[in-house]
Each structure stands twice: as structure tokens, then as C-alpha cells.
Structure 1
Amino acid sequence: MAVSGSSVERNMSLSSRSDSFSSDGRDLESVPETGCLSIIVLGASGDLAKKKTFPALWNLYRQGFLQSNEVHIFGYARTKISDDELRDRIRGYLVDGHGASTDDLPQFLQLIKYVNGGYDSDEGFRLLDKAISEHEFSKNSQEGTSRRLFYLALPPSVYPSVCKMIRKFCMNKSDLGGWTRIVVEKPFGKDLDTSEELSIQLGSLFDEKQLYRIDHYLGKELVQNLLVLRFANRFFLPLWNRDNIDNIQIVFREDFGTEGRGGYFDEYGIIRDIIQNHLLQVLCLVAMEKPVSLRPEHIRDEKVKVLQSVLPISYEEVVIGQYEGYKDDPTVSDKSNTPTFATVILRIHNERWEGVPFILKAGKALNSRKAEIRVQFKDVPGDIFRFCSGVKQGRNEFVIRLQPSEAMYMKLTVKKPGLEMATIQSEMDLSYRQRYQGVTIPEAYERLILDTIRGDQQHFVRRDELKVAWEIFTPLLHKIDDGELKPLPYKPGSRGPAEADKLLEKAGYVQTHGYIWIPPTL
């Protein structure tokens, strides 16, 4: 994995602080972070920790972002296993298949210790604090300078009890450049009321600057590129508005179903699982105004303003679906009304976007797997080439492909090579695999864990932002939960319900026929 910068620069970046003041208002800019770093993975024996959290920590370690002389990693869970048993469980997930060196893997695994205990157990968290403190003492870390990062790879139902235990037993004892930070995974509630209840519970225990609500989509390379694309390139500035853009689609498609996660998925559905968080976060970055600076709070302020400008969802601009065979899963109720597909149109009531539909679409068991942003521009006025090929060509589109085969390309109408004046759709293409050969794009979790260590909350969800997001979707979700809005059946491997394509057409989206973007091959 290619990394620029020396290890000295990495250490300096890890010591930088974006939170300039402590909870009592003292200026911390001049307080260096010299204490050792403890990363505690709660739920260490679960799938999320094994498949995402520990691999992300391993990748940060082998790139030099985590130094063995200052970091220690603790796993905590109810499962009764030893240190070596935990290491053996995660070892197979730390080999990425890209030929990256694993010479340092034994050394990394030795940094991992395991503590067994319940999630509401005084005894368990006392043992955890003792293990962390012994590590800090062994590193001669001055009291109050140590850093403790708690990663909750757990179901949200246990967040309150776990956070109470952390607050009671495991906090950094004083504030001399050290800190305690809590990373919580989605879902953050199921609707506005449950989300607010969770926010109140966590907010009574920790300051907002200590809470990092992780949405891994904000760590994706192309999502992180959105601010640069929009605000560092002059030719986008005059185009990025209702005068030139007809509609914007933000799409998430999977070509497989729930695959063993039916019971979990049936509790939430595709809107809670994907649209209300991942796709809505992307919408904010696409639609927001330029922030005053790159300071995290300035960026998050603009995201909140976008969400506050979203009009209530019109049920006539919603199509939900459920793929045939979904209820064959024994963990799914035969009477399930849970959507596995949804198309929702949001409308932003402000000067820039008035009249432009933002189409959020997500589904499982469809005919392809991809996530992308598709910005479709309006027709060229007075188009003199409209019949050069016998048929009208498609519209200009700017497409940002988030996964897989990360790319950005602009669909253009050009002259077809030859003696005749005929037009054809083609593209100007920036495909990352071709342009950045030899560079491995980091996983989202790597970037977000590193941001947490650095104290950069730019790519994490703020409490007021979360509240407004739930205000937008809660009425629709309750209508579905109450059975007032029924999902339409669709066949696995299809595009979803035909009604969704009709809704897109009604919203103004013009599909380009006969054109397919093909990722370049090396």
C-alpha cells in the first residue's frame, strides 16, 4: 500500500489536535500528545471487529501510523477466550490477498490483549481499566497524558450500559494532553424518538467532542474527494446549480440478498440500513454550500443547513419493493412489510437547488453491484445535432463511481469517427485503477479510525445532523412500519420494481440507451 511522508511526519500528524479547547475551556493547542495510545475494541469476538476493525488497525500499523512503542490494542467481549485464541481468530482476516507483506504481523498480534467481561459488569470493566493502566504504566506514560479510544463494535442496544461502564471505570484520569474518545457504529436508533433517546443517554456521559458516530461511507476515497472536486475546480462552480443540472441520483445496488442477515435486516430495512445514513450523507456533500474553511465544524455546519432545507417527503415520490424469495428466509416473518428496495425523491428548498430532484435509490438482489452519484445536466438549448444519428443522443452526465472500480467520468456527445457527420455518446474518464497504478485505496475504516486518533470529526455525524436526518425520514418509516405503504414485489436479478423507473422518468431523468461505461483494463 503506497504511503507518502516519513514516519516523523506521521507521528507529527498523529499528535495534531483539531479540538482546540478542553471541556473547561483551556487552550490545548500547545499541549503535545505524548502519552501512550490504547485502542479498545468492545465486541472483539464479533464479525464487525474481525472483518473490519482489526484489519483496519493492522493496515494502519503496517503503514507506520500506529507505533509499536506507543500503542496497545485491547479486545473486550463476553466470550471466554485467551489472548492467543483471539489472535488466532482474527489472523485470517489480516491477509488482504493483494500480496502486501505480513512480516510485521506477529509483532502486531502481540500488541493485542484480551479481557473477558459482561457489557454491564463492574468487575469486567475494572479488569479492563487495570489492563489499560498497566500498559500505560509500563510505557512510563505520565498520568493524564494517555489516550484511550473505545471502539464499540456492538449492537446499539448495549451502547448505554457500555458507555456507563466506560465513564465509571475506564476514563483517562485527567486532562494533560490525553483524552478518551468513543466510536459508535450505526444504526443510531430506528427513528427520531429512539435516536434522540440514545443521544440523550450518551450525551449525559460524554461531551460531543468525545463522541464519534461512524458512517463508513464518509471514509470512502471518492466521497472524500467530493469537497475537492466541487470547491477546487473553477469549471464546476458555475455549473453546480438548478440552472444547469436537471436531476441528481445517488445509487446503491447489490446483486445479492440478505444472505444470512435476514433477521437483522428485517428489523431495519433498506431505508434505515442504507438511505437514511449512507446516501443522505453523500447528498449533503453533493448539495452543501462552500464552508468557511476546512475546519470540521465549518463543514458539518453546512451539511446541517442542507438537511434543514429538505422538504417533507411526498409519498407519491416513493417506491418501495421486496424481492421475491425474501420471506423464504426462516428468520424473516411471513408477513414482513420490510422493503429490500426503495427509491425516494428528496427536494431541497433553497436558491441553488429549487426544483432539482435528488433521487436516492438503494436495493438488494438487483442486476448489478455498484454505488455511484449521477449528475444529469439539462438538454442543450437549440441543439443543432439532435438528429445527426437519426436518434436523439443522451444528456451530459457527470458520474462519480464510489465502488467498485472507483472512477469519475463525464458522458459527452462527440462526433463518431468516419466520413459522416454522426454523433455518439462517449466519456472523459478518470479511472483510479488505471490512473493511480500501484496505489491501493485505503479502506474507509482505516481512514476513520485514524481521524479519530487525530481528533478530526469532519467525517463523523454530529448530533444535530443526526436529528435532522431522522426528522426527514421518520414519517415515511412509520408509514411503512404501520403497513400503510406496501412494498412491490420484484424478481431477483432485475432492476427492481418497474414503478421505480417510471418514477425516475416522471422526475425528469432521461435514460441513455445503447451506452455502457466499461472500466478500463490494465
Structure 2
Amino acid sequence: MMNTTSENLTKEKADYIYQRLRKQITSIDSEACPQSFVFFVFGASGDLAKKKIYPTLWWLYRDGFLPEHICFVGYARSQLTIEKIFQNADKYMKVHDHERDLYKKFLELNHYVCGSYDKSEDFDKLNHEANKISQHTSAHRFFYLALPPSVYGSVSELISTHCRPGAPGWVRLIVEKPFGKDLQSSNILSGHLSKFYAEEEIYRIDHYLGKEMVQNIMVLRFSNRIFSRVWNRDSVAAVKIIFKEDIGTQGRGGYFDEFGIIRDVIQNHLMQILSIVAMEKPRSTTGEDIRDEKVKVLRCIAPIKSENVVIGQYLGDKESKDSERQLGYLDDAGVPKDSTTPTYAQTILYINNERWDGVPFILRAGKALNEKKAEIRIQFRDVPGGMFDENGSKAPLARDELVVRIQPDEAIYLKVNTKRPGEMSYSIEETELDLTYNERYRGVKLPDAYERLILDVFMGSRINFVRSDELQEAWRIVDPILTEIDQKKLPVVPYKFGAAGLPQAFDAAVKHGYVFTGTYVRKDERSASVINSQKEKEKEKAKEKVQS
């Protein structure tokens, strides 16, 4: 769990930091009682609980980052036992042989209650069970809603009405996205929650805010003078924020078709990244100061216009040997055959303030593309003067570009122009100043995003959670174009599973100021096609082995 900042950090320093953080976490366990904290997992039988929440709670428990006096209560409609839930989650828990005794103790702290999501008597029963398990009616309570948005209203109301602890116990409600489907439904949900919870009791999770490189943006910006001086419209030509997946909807088409890529990725993940990249320097690193600045940026962005949007939908690649890649979006069960829901979208935004006036922010997201990648590209303006003449052509130099790769293989690198080695003349080529994490910080474990965020909830830190006014502004920006797509059935551009993207989107980015120049490709990016090819060959061999 420990994330140090240098491979040269001594073991003594690492142990000191680890123990100090553990002490800070466990200091919240101040109640002199058998269990002073209860963590409820609503939707305990679902995929999110199985793949993320229960494994994360185990890892935090294993590493000593949870209070000593704690118990866990799963809740769902399914007739299950806690043993069955952990059997289903077993392959995601990553328990090593030497951890078996500790894991057994963790399992003993877990319980399960079956009940509905809309009946008062079931929540009374849950409250009674929690009091009995914790042996303390005023134990602090965490409620994680890993549930469909359709039941958020009834569940949140019934928790507040029937499951609040007695004084001095407090409540923290953790809500998963999507936070509504549009501005109206989001405002209704926010209004509903505000009737039963104070804003400081609500933790809206966007797991991208827990990622290492997203959290590093502020440090990179505000602790390095070299960047703070050029982080504005005088030096920056364009900002591109990209989210790419190399998988399709894969059986989730029925769910995805209700939302589409703009709601699923751009409105939350990419808009949050934009606000951190573009915000002014906060007064401090406290949660409210940072979130205040994020809201100020979002308020300076006009709603998206249809002329600044390109949307697409993937088709199956019938020539692929991978059966999953042969299927298009409309082939997914649950997707209407006439659906125009976009699986790819590019939107171009402008921030109307002094720092960013005229700089395009290009947000691009897509499924069923050629690779899995999320990154930020800050492209700087051309060098004026034309001093270096490449063979008399007066061809422009490749633009400098700062790249923050969020996933996979976290990295920060700066693309620059240098003299080509060995040449007698001033012959120029592109290269990079590179900070690739798995090379620079070998052996350092980067925590999963959910580890960071659930730990933040225990700490009471709201820096990496979405506030209601942030949410409202993000929906205000995307709501008009969503309405237009839904009501006017705007045409979607078809693209083949495994495509790099849409040419129309690339052309639009160029039109708005992003320049595709140069031929330099990073070594790891250059080898990506080889790796993908190898993966396909391995899949084919595995299938042949099974068939034989």
C-alpha cells in the first residue's frame, strides 16, 4: 500500500512514513468499545462489491490502514450468505499463503443481511443487526451504495430515517456514479440527498480522482516554477484529454445504451481532469479550497455546441480472429437494433477566463479502439522566428508537448526538439524527457484508485470527491448536447472495432488548433501493436488448445 516517491528512499524512512500514516488512520478509532465503526456495503452481491469494494477493504485491513474496532455488513436483496459472497470474490482478493490467518480474521468481521431497498421494516432489521454486531448503538457508520441509480432515492432516505447511529456517532454516505442521467435528474438526486444529509456527509466517488497521475497534476503544476510560468494561453496552443478502451460493451450494452460515452466518461472522468488541469492555484490543499477552484473553472465553460462534437458507434471487425472483436455494438444483447447511442465522442470546449481564453480543450473518449489508454496532452505554441531551416523547406518544427499518461504504465514525458546526434549541421529530431514510473520507481506499489478513495473516506478527506455544485456545472455543460443527441437522433459515424479513432475527430482537433506534427513515437507506444498482435496469437493458441 505504501507509495514512496523515490527508489532511493531508505527502508527506515519508508517505515517511518508508514507508521505515521497508520497512526493517523487509527487515531480516529477513539471509542472505547468492541467495535466503533461499521462499514455497510449496499449491493453486496453485485459485481462492483465483488471486484472492487471487498478486495479494497481487505487490502486496507491487511496493510493496517483501518481502525482496530471495525466490522463490515453487506446488504442486498439476494438470498446469500457472507461465505458465498466471499467465494464469488475470492479470485479478486489476491490473498497470499502467508496472509491466510489474517484473512480469516478479516472474514470473521464480515456479516450479511438480506432485505429490500424500499421497505422500512427491512432497514429497521438492518439497524438492529448492526447494533447487535457492533455492540454499540453510537458506532460511526459508513454506507457504500454500490447500487443502480434507480434505487438511490429510497435507499438513502431509509438509511437516514432508520439506520443513523446515536450520538456521538456520525454517518458518511458513499455514492457511486452515475449521479443522474442529465441536469434535471442530477439536480433532483442532489436535492433529495440534501434533505437527509449534510454536504459533508456525502462522498460522491469518481474513481479517476483516485488515480496516481490525476493526483499528481496539482503537484506538477504548482510545485514547479518551470510549468507554472507557461501554464496559460500565451504558451499553450491546445489541451487534449483522451480516454481509450480496447474492449467493447461486452454484455453491458443494455446498461450502456441508457447513458452513452458522453455520460459514462466525458461528463465525469474527463471533466474532472479538465478542472484540475485548468484551475487557478488553490489557497491550500484542503478539500474545499481545491473544489472551490474546480467549480470556478467549470462556471467559465459554455455548454457544448453540436458543431464542436463528433460521435461514433463501433462495428464488428469480421476479419478478426477474436470472436469478441467480430461483434459490433448493435450485436450486444440488450441494445436496440436502431440505437444511435455513441460509443465514441469528441467534444471541444473553451474556458472563458483570462488564463485560457482561446485555448481549445479537446475531450475524447471511445470504446472498442486499438488500445487502452488515458492521458493528458498539453501542446505548446510554435517557436516563432523560423531560425532552423530544414533543407530550405521552412517546415515548422514539431511542437513541444507535455504528456501525462494516467494509464496504463504511468508516465510523464516532455516531447522536445534536439540536434540529431552525429550530424554536422543543425539537423533536428524529436525526442523526450522521460519519467516513466515503472522504470524510475521500481518496486514501489501504486495503490488502486479505490484504495485511495475509501481510505480518504475513513480520513474524512473530501479532496478527491465530487461536490454538488461541481456536479451541477458539469451537467450544465453537457446537458444541451445530450438532449440534442437523444431527441434529434444525431447521426453517428461508424468505425471498425480496433480503429485508432475517427478521422472526422482528428480533423476537428486540427481545425481548432491541435497540430499533429513530427514522426517520433515512444518506444513503449511503438511496441504496442506488437504486444496486441502477440495477445491475439496467444488467444488463438488457447482456443485451439481448448478445442483439441
Shift of 1:55: 1.1
Secondary structure of the 1:482 match is: helix
| Gapped regions of structure 2 (runs ≥ 5) | 4-13, 316-327, 528-548
Counterpart CA distance in 2 for 1:371 and 1:388 is: 37
Partner of residue 181, structure 1: 172
Q: Deviations over 1:210-269 (max 9, x none)?
A: 111100000000001111111111111110000000000000001111111111111100
**Partner letter of residue 114 of structure 1?**
Y
Aligned 8 A contact 2:382 2:397 in 1: no
Counterpart CA distance in 2 for 1:319 and 1:100 is: 52
CA, structure 1 residues 320+418, in 2 after alignment: closer, same or farther (shift >3 Å)? same
Counterpart CA distance in 2 for 1:5 and 1:130 is: 41
Partner of residue 541, structure 2: none
Partner of residue 407, structure 1: 411
CA, structure 1 residues 473+134, in 2 after alignment: closer, same or farther (shift >3 Å)? same
In structure 1, which of residues 104, 129, 132 is the aligned counterpart of residue 130 of structure 2?
A: 132
Counterpart CA distance in 1 for 2:400 and 2:388 is: 14
Partner of residue 167, structure 1: 160
Counterpart CA distance in 1 for 2:81 and 2:129 is: 14
Aligned 8 A contact 2:383 2:397 in 1: no
1:94-493 equivalent positions in 2, closer than 5 A: 94-95=93-94, 104-137=102-135, 144=138, 146-175=139-168, 178-324=169-315, 325-387=328-390, 392-421=396-425, 422-493=427-498
Aligned 8 A contact 2:350 2:358 in 1: yes
Counterpart CA distance in 2 for 1:483 and 1:359 is: 24
Aligned 8 A contact 2:82 2:112 in 1: yes
More deviation, 463-472/79-88 = 79-88
Shift of 1:119: 0.9
Q: Deviations over 1:106-147 (max 9, x none)?
A: 22222211111111122322222122212332xxx5x54x21
Secondary structure of the 1:460 match is: coil
Secondary structure of the 1:461 match is: coil
More deviation, 416-425/102-111 = 102-111
Aligned sequence identity (%) = 49
Counterpart CA distance in 2 for 1:345 and 1:386 is: 33
Aligned 8 A contact 1:95 1:102 in 2: no
Secondary structure of the 1:56 match is: helix
**Partner letter of residue 341 of structure 1?**
Y
Shift of 1:32: 5.5
Secondary structure of the 1:181 match is: strand
In structure 2, which of residues 20, 43, 58 is the aligned counterpart of residue 9 of structure 1?
A: 20
Q: Deviations over 1:405-428 (max 9, x none)?
A: 000000011111113332111101
Counterpart CA distance in 2 for 1:432 and 1:104 is: 31
Aligned 8 A contact 1:221 1:444 in 2: yes
Partner of residue 21, structure 1: none
Counterpart CA distance in 1 for 2:90 and 2:63 is: 18
Aligned 8 A contact 1:389 1:423 in 2: no
**Partner letter of residue 61 of structure 2?**
Y
More deviation, 385-394/123-132 = 385-394
Counterpart CA distance in 1 for 2:480 and 2:507 is: 24
Aligned 8 A contact 1:117 1:123 in 2: no
**Partner letter of residue 104 of structure 1?**
L
Partner of residue 25, structure 1: none
**Partner letter of residue 509 of structure 1?**
Y
Secondary structure of the 1:54 match is: helix
**Partner letter of residue 457 of structure 2?**
T
Counterpart CA distance in 2 for 1:403 and 1:207 is: 34
Q: Deviations over 1:123-173 (max 9, x none)?
A: 322222122212332xxx5x54x2110000000110111112211221121
Counterpart CA distance in 2 for 1:73 and 1:459 is: 23
**Partner letter of residue 264 of structure 1?**
Y
Aligned 8 A contact 2:190 2:468 in 1: yes
Partner of residue 46, structure 1: 46
Shift of 1:34: 6.1
Secondary structure of the 2:257 match is: helix
Q: Deviations over 1:368-399 (max 9, x none)?
A: 21000000000111132251697644210000
Counterpart CA distance in 1 for 2:486 and 2:104 is: 49
**Partner letter of residue 303 of structure 1?**
K
Counterpart CA distance in 2 for 1:95 and 1:452 is: 23
| Gapped regions of structure 1 (runs ≥ 5) | 18-30
CA, structure 1 residues 412+195, in 2 after alignment: closer, same or farther (shift >3 Å)? same
Shift of 1:5: 4.9
Shift of 1:196: 0.6
Aligned 8 A contact 1:311 1:347 in 2: yes
Shift of 1:66: 1.5
Shift of 1:483: 2.6
Q: Are 1:514 and 2:515 matched, yes or no? A: no
Equivalent residue pairs, number: 499
Larger helix proportion of the pair? 2
CA, structure 1 residues 396+100, in 2 after alignment: closer, same or farther (shift >3 Å)? farther
Counterpart CA distance in 2 for 1:454 and 1:219 is: 14
Aligned 8 A contact 1:16 1:454 in 2: no
CA, structure 1 residues 461+381, in 2 after alignment: closer, same or farther (shift >3 Å)? same
More deviation, 3-12/299-308 = 3-12
**Partner letter of residue 417 of structure 1?**
P
Partner of residue 71, structure 2: 72
Q: Are 1:63 and 2:56 matched, yes or no? A: no
Aligned 8 A contact 2:44 2:75 in 1: yes
Counterpart CA distance in 2 for 1:121 and 1:312 is: 40
Shift of 1:102: 5.3
Partner of residue 319, structure 2: none
Counterpart CA distance in 2 for 1:33 and 1:430 is: 45
CA, structure 1 residues 174+248, in 2 after alignment: closer, same or farther (shift >3 Å)? same
CA, structure 1 residues 108+386, in 2 after alignment: closer, same or farther (shift >3 Å)? farther
CA, structure 1 residues 389+180, in 2 after alignment: closer, same or farther (shift >3 Å)? farther
